[in-house]
Amino acid sequence: MSGYTAHKGEYLNQAMVDVARIAKITRQLYERQQFAYLLVDHNWSVIEASANLENYGFGDVRVGDDAREAIDFLVGLDSHSTLDLPIVLSPSQNPVHIVLLPEDESLTVVLMDASRDYEQQQLVQQKANENELLLAQQRQLMADLEQTQAALVTKNTELREASRLQSSFLSGVSHEFRTPLAALLGYVDVLGERLLSQSQEESEEQLKVIRRSGRHLLSLVENLLDHGKFDAGEVVLNPQAIDLQGICDEVHAMLHQGAASKQIALEFDTTPTPLPSCLIDDSRLRQIMLNIIGNAIKFTDEGKVQVIAQCADEQFSLRIRDTGMGISKDDMQNVMRPFWQAPKNGKVGTGLGLTITERIVEMMGGQLKIDSELGVGTTVDITIPAPLIELDQPDINSNRAEHIGARRYLLAEDDPDIAALLKLLLVEQGAEVTHVENGQQAIEIAEREEFDVILMDLQMPVLDGYDATKSLRDRGDKTPVLVMTASAIEADRTRAEEVGCDGYLIKPVAVHEVLSLADELLQNQSAV
Amino acid sequence: MKAESDQVRALRSRYKESLPEKAALVREWHLQETSGGISEAGVDELSSWLHKLAGSAGMYEYQEISDFSRSLMQSMPDLSSQELASRLKKLELLLEGAAK
């Protein structure tokens, strides 16, 4: 019998004592080091629980309890296997490190504070999140950069194209100016040399060419100036009470001849007829209509141009439909670009008319749309806000007071500040005011249109108020001329009276003075 | 009409905004007059400009500027260079004062 066999029982007893001692020491160690523990049998029945278990939120665990009811993360675990759960959140949300140490008859559940590990894990997670965020931001920045680079490339292309168009425009416009100028000067020379020798018919034909060339040049210059004004932000709308029907009739009268000379019909339909009066910048509206309808006539060689004008719900809408050459889909993308002209269409121009028209319409708060089919024709739709006029109650409750305001005035004044204010003040009184900047323009417009009174500044460029008044009188125009001048010199008044001025006001003038004197002049005139 | 009254206010505001520019122009003439004298063409240009200023300033209710420029315009032929410079300076100050 070996020594071991002889002393087997003694050894086993000693080993059990040692294990129990170790377990006790370990438990004491756990308690000293603030670990918690739970001793259960393999059916999870609690044999012993450390007193500090409540620090981890498990204070209700008592001997004999089923440990799984109190500590739910034990559910489903094998009570015979070793297990290490580094971080588990207790019911009180404390991070706990749990180790299961099985023995023959029991299982020790060790709970350790895992706050530090948990914080570490949280920090790692936070870092990971931050890294992810940084990566996302970096990706966004890269995308933005790529987008900006793409935009820059596009802008650069556009700038190159704009530069090319401007160069092309400059070379084109030189030709545009040279051709009518050459015709104009050439025919003036011919007229000068042969005035007495050639027939009146020949002279009239040459005069027509001169007039046409001059008008074309004027239109080129006006378009260029307008385009420059828009770019410089100098265009100011000046809405006033206007007769829409009158404007439509006027535009029709101006363009009818041009259409007739191409043997195409120009039809105007207005709804309602007559169109009502409303508040719109009349000169800009006229410009819009002349540009679009003029274009329709220019690009139509057969068929007709139809204009449908409607005013409803304080909106003025225009539809201009032609049976002209139309615009291809590719060219439609370019028609609004400044200086662009359809290649090889055989028509002349600056390529600015449509651009300017669109800018005016937008400035008025309206819209312009173009629909076109190559070889079939083009339709342009324009809508512009058109507030109907609502006059205040008149200060003086008499028909005469209303009548005084409702007159048509021609205002010849070169100072834009004075002209803008005086025109506005008169319009507020219900007057219709046409403004020109010099005496020459006053004469030209007075030949075409009728006015009740002409308000004439004396000092103006091109032709001053004295010469303009004298010229009007020489032509038999008897419209009363009311001078407005900053000069208080008596000699100026005398000279004005000598050339045919009827009234004399020294600036600053009040609008009621203008209305009152104008009324007096008209009464005197009708009494004669 | 109310909208048009707003427009009148806008015009007055625009005119007021133009006063510093007008003052700068007068300063330029003053400089010319004190450094050799305004040229003959310049005198005509100044006279014409004063004429316009007399009209527009009055219309926009700057009566003192209007009266002063009208008076300066009429008396210009009789003024010595020193007097003209002095009056231009005063006009400049009037315009600057009104612009504030």
> How far off is chain A from B92, nearest CA to CA, in Å?
19
The model's confidence at residue A9, banded by pLDDT at 50, 70 and 90, is confident
Name the closest residue on chain B to residue A236, using Cα atoms: B11
CB contact under 8 A, B11 and A508: no
> How far off is chain B from A483, nearest CA to CA, in Å?
13
Question: 3-class DSSP state for residue A75?
Answer: coil
Q: Across residues A177-186, what is the average pLDDT?
A: 69
Pairing of strands A106-113, A36-41: antiparallel
Show residues of chain A in contact with B61, CB under 8 Å. 508
A137-231: CATH number: 1.10.287.130
The C-alpha atoms of residue A402 and residue A391 are separated, in whole angstroms, by 10
Percent of chain A with pLDDT over 70: 84
- DSSP code for A499: H
Q: Which of A402-406, A454-458, A490-494 has the lowest mean pLDDT?
A: A402-406
Residue A47 has pLDDT above 60, yes or no: yes
Q: Across residues A141-168, what is the average pLDDT?
A: 85
Tallying the residues shown for chain A, one arrives at 528
Name the closest residue on chain A to residue B72, using Cα atoms: A487
Residue A163 has pLDDT above 90, yes or no: no
Show residues of chain A in contact with B58, CB under 8 Å. 486, 507-508
pLDDT number for residue A396: 38
| CB-nearest partner of A486 from B12, B14, B70 | B70
Residue A401 has pLDDT above 50, yes or no: no
pLDDT number for residue A172: 60
Chain centroid to Cα A215, Å, comes to 34
The C-alpha atoms of residue A78 and residue A74 are separated, in whole angstroms, by 9
Residue A393 has pLDDT above 60, yes or no: no
The answer for A169, left when phi > 0, alpha when psi is -120 to 50, beta otherwise, is alpha
> Most A CBs within 10 Å: which of B56, B65, B67, B76, as the mutation test of the A interface?
B56
B11 touches chain A (CB under 8 A): yes
Size of interface A-B (CB pairs under 8 A): 69
B84 touches chain A (CB under 8 A): no
pLDDT number for residue A90: 80
Q: E strands of A335-419, at which residues? A: 367-373, 377-385, 408-412
Percent of chain A with pLDDT over 90: 27
The model's confidence at residue A239, banded by pLDDT at 50, 70 and 90, is confident
Query: For residues A91 and A409, which has the higher predicted lDDT (pLDDT)?
Result: A409
Residues in CB range of B23: below 8 A, 6 or more apart: B92, B95, B96, B99
Q: Which of A55-59, A191-195, A362-366 has the lowest mean pLDDT?
A: A191-195
Q: Count Cα neighbours of A55 within 13 Å in the Cβ-side half-sphere.
A: 15
Show residues of chain A in contact with B65, CB under 8 Å. none
CB contact under 8 A, B4 and A428: yes
pTM: 0.39
CATH architecture of A3-113: 2-Layer Sandwich (3.30)
Q: Across residues A285-307, what is the average pLDDT?
A: 91
CB contact under 8 A, B51 and A487: yes
The model's confidence at residue A472, banded by pLDDT at 50, 70 and 90, is very high
The model's confidence at residue A392, banded by pLDDT at 50, 70 and 90, is very low
A399-527: CATH number: 3.40.50.2300
> How far off is chain A from B82, nearest CA to CA, in Å?
25
Pairing of strands A377-385, A408-412: unpaired
Residue A364 CB neighbours (<10 A): 21
Q: What is the ipTM of this complex?
A: 0.86
- Which pair of structure tokens corresponds to residue B100? 């504030």
What class is the A240-385 domain? alpha beta
Q: Which of A84-98, A151-165, A228-242, A357-371 has the lowest mean pLDDT?
A: A228-242
Show residues of chain A in contact with B8, CB under 8 Å. 421, 424-425, 428
Residue A513 has pLDDT above 60, yes or no: yes
pLDDT number for residue A372: 92
pLDDT number for residue A343: 63
Query: For residues A366 and A234, which has the higher predicted lDDT (pLDDT)?
Result: A366
CB contact under 8 A, A422 and B8: no
The answer to whether A242 and A274 have CB atoms below 8 angstroms apart is: no
| CB-nearest partner of A418 from B5, B7, B56 | B56
pLDDT number for residue A33: 55
Residues in CB range of A112: below 8 A, 6 or more apart: A35, A36, A96, A97, A98, A99
pLDDT number for residue A356: 86
> How far off is chain B from A511, nearest CA to CA, in Å?
10
The closest of A407, A422, A383 to A508, measured between CA atoms, is A422
Residue A390 has pLDDT above 90, yes or no: no
The model's confidence at residue A399, banded by pLDDT at 50, 70 and 90, is very low
Show residues of chain A in contact with B63, CB under 8 Å. 508
> How far off is chain A from B85, nearest CA to CA, in Å?
22
Residue A88 has pLDDT above 80, yes or no: yes
Q: Across residues A244-259, what is the average pLDDT?
A: 80
Residue A38 has pLDDT above 90, yes or no: no
Amino acid sitting at position B41: A
- Which pair of structure tokens corresponds to residue A20? 């129990």
pLDDT number for residue A410: 94
> How far off is chain A from B25, nearest CA to CA, in Å?
16
CB contact under 8 A, A508 and B55: yes
pLDDT number for residue A6: 66
Q: What is the mean pLDDT of chain A?
A: 82
Name the closest residue on chain B to residue A488, using Cα atoms: B70
Chain A interface with B: residues with Cβ < 8 Å:
279, 389-392, 415, 417-418, 420-422, 424-425, 427-428, 457, 459, 484-489, 507-509
Taking only the tens place, the pLDDT of each residue in A187-216 is 777 777 766 677 777 777 777 777 767 766
Taking only the tens place, the pLDDT of each residue in B29-81 is 999 999 989 988 899 999 999 999 999 998 998 988 988 898 898 888 888 89
Query: For residues A357 and A193, which has the higher predicted lDDT (pLDDT)?
Result: A357
Output b/e per residue, A461-477; b: 16+ Cβ within 10 A. eebbbbbbbbbbeeeeb
Show residues of chain A in contact with B7, CB under 8 Å. 424
Residue A424 has pLDDT above 90, yes or no: no
Query: For residues A326 and A217, which has the higher predicted lDDT (pLDDT)?
Result: A326
Q: Where are the domains of chain A?
A: 3-113, 137-231, 240-385, 399-527
Query: For residues A400 and A107, which has the higher predicted lDDT (pLDDT)?
Result: A107
Q: Which helix (H) or strand (E) holds A279?
A: strand A277-280
pLDDT number for residue A281: 85
Residues in CB range of A110: below 8 A, 6 or more apart: A30, A35, A36, A37, A98, A99, A100, A101
B48 touches chain A (CB under 8 A): yes
